[in-house]
Amino acid sequence: MTAPLHFYFDFISPYGFFASQRIEALAARHGREVHWHAMLLGVSVLKVMGLKPLMDTPLKGDYTGRDVLRTARETGISLGRQPRDPVMNPLPSARAFAWVRKHHPEQAAAMAHAIYGAYWGEGRDLSTPESLVGLNLPGGLAGETLAQAAAGNEAATLLRADVDEALSAGVFGSPTVLVDGEMFWGFDKLDQLDRWLVRGGW
Amino acid sequence: MTAPLHFYFDFISPYGFFASQRIEALAARHGREVHWHAMLLGVSVLKVMGLKPLMDTPLKGDYTGRDVLRTARETGISLGRQPRDPVMNPLPSARAFAWVRKHHPEQAAAMAHAIYGAYWGEGRDLSTPESLVGLNLPGGLAGETLAQAAAGNEAATLLRADVDEALSAGVFGSPTVLVDGEMFWGFDKLDQLDRWLVRGGW
């Protein structure tokens, strides 16, 4: 049995959303599973790396705004919000995801898709625990339970541990894939990851 | 006649070196010419964007070091220096290039290859105007003339204008390709550029 692909993402990241639509098919082509891990760009980029938010960076912010839109067009993945729209507080979603990953691990992928689909696909606001109630949730999960979990201490602790684990592994951006000790950062990097999995390294 | 690809690069950038080995074949496949433009990451990244040098950025520096080596292995482009080796002062090379681009425009591509090949391919030190004397120069260019030009005011003025022009166009990273009003940043982005040129946009 080959090792899984570890897929790291932040829900506020449009490139993470694009990659979330591709990663399972990519993994399946190589007989791999996907393990989903929430991370927080607000911790890695702002605190650890000492940089500023991507969209607030001169020149790069403008470029990124255009690149997100053309990448959506090329991939046929439709966006319900613009790259320059106000960014949600990612904590309720990420905490809810960390809680589901712990207590319903078989639903982690579906949960990630539900959040990404609502936020980037439909442009819904998910800035509060209550806003998660209306999500199109995978079977067995109740919206009220999820909202309650997202507001609780356990989910906050779980997410903190996940974020620490991502940083310890060297993950700084979204999306990032870790497999067999090798790291691939960025949606544009999935093609190289694909070639790497074919050859088993260079 | 279709418009050329405008290829922007900094000689200190390994990804610029990788792209310099690919850009002409890519352009030729689409019946395009390449116009070569030196830029300075020290101006765009440090001064305009307010970031720190890539290799000095926590997490990202380590990732980049590994990514450069595996990209070299995958592409078969051999490197004469390590990503973590001390970075040269890019001004003499970039000024010499700007001078050649002005006075011997037909030699600009060959000049870029000569500098990139010496610095990244052979690992030679090009930190001073005198170090340019030993370059394997394109026909018609004498090493002494070049070294003298690189040390002079005209080359400095020409480079400053080129760097300003790049910034005005929104260029912030190396490599960047501008074509038909669309910008593509990064070596990993050349595949998307290739697809874009096939389709003429999305």
**Amino acid symbol at B27:** A
- pLDDT of res. A200: 81
Sign of CA dihedral A14, A172, A62, B194: negative
User: What CATH architecture does domain B5-199 belong to?
Assistant: 3-Layer(aba) Sandwich (3.40)
The tens digit of pLDDT for each residue in B185-201 reads: 999 999 999 999 998 87
Q: Min CA distance, B59 vs chain A (Å)?
A: 6
- pLDDT of res. B138: 82
Q: Running along chain A, 202 residues long, what does each successive block of 10 average in pLDDT?
A: 92 98 98 97 90 92 96 97 96 98 96 97 96 89 95 98 96 97 96 93 74
- Inter-chain contact B59–A170, Cβ cutoff 8 Å? yes
- pLDDT of res. A1: 57
Give the pLDDT band (50/70/90) at residue B165.
very high
CA gap A108, B160 in Å, rounded:
52
Q: Which of A71, A193, A26 minimizes the C-alpha distance to B195?
A: A71
Cis peptide before A83 (omega within 30 of 0): no
CA gap A179, A10 in Å, rounded:
18
B144: how many CB neighbours lie within 10 A of its CB? Answer: 10
pLDDT of B202 higher than 80:
no
DSSP state, A87? P
CA gap B144, B146 in Å, rounded:
5
- Residues in A closer than 8 angstroms to B171, CB to CB, are 59
Q: Residue ranges per domain, chain B?
A: 5-199
Buried b / exposed e along A92-105 (16+ C-beta atoms within 10 A): bbbbbbbbbbbebe
- Inter-chain contact A62–B188, Cβ cutoff 8 Å? no
Phi then psi dihedrals of residue B97, to 5 deg: -65, -45
Q: Does A5 touch chain B (CB under 8 A)?
A: no
Q: How far is CA A121 from CA A81, B56, B76, B152, in A?
A: 7, 36, 39, 55
pLDDT of B129 higher than 60:
yes
Q: Is the ipTM of this complex over 0.85?
A: yes
- pLDDT of res. A139: 83
Size of interface A-B (CB pairs under 8 A): 81
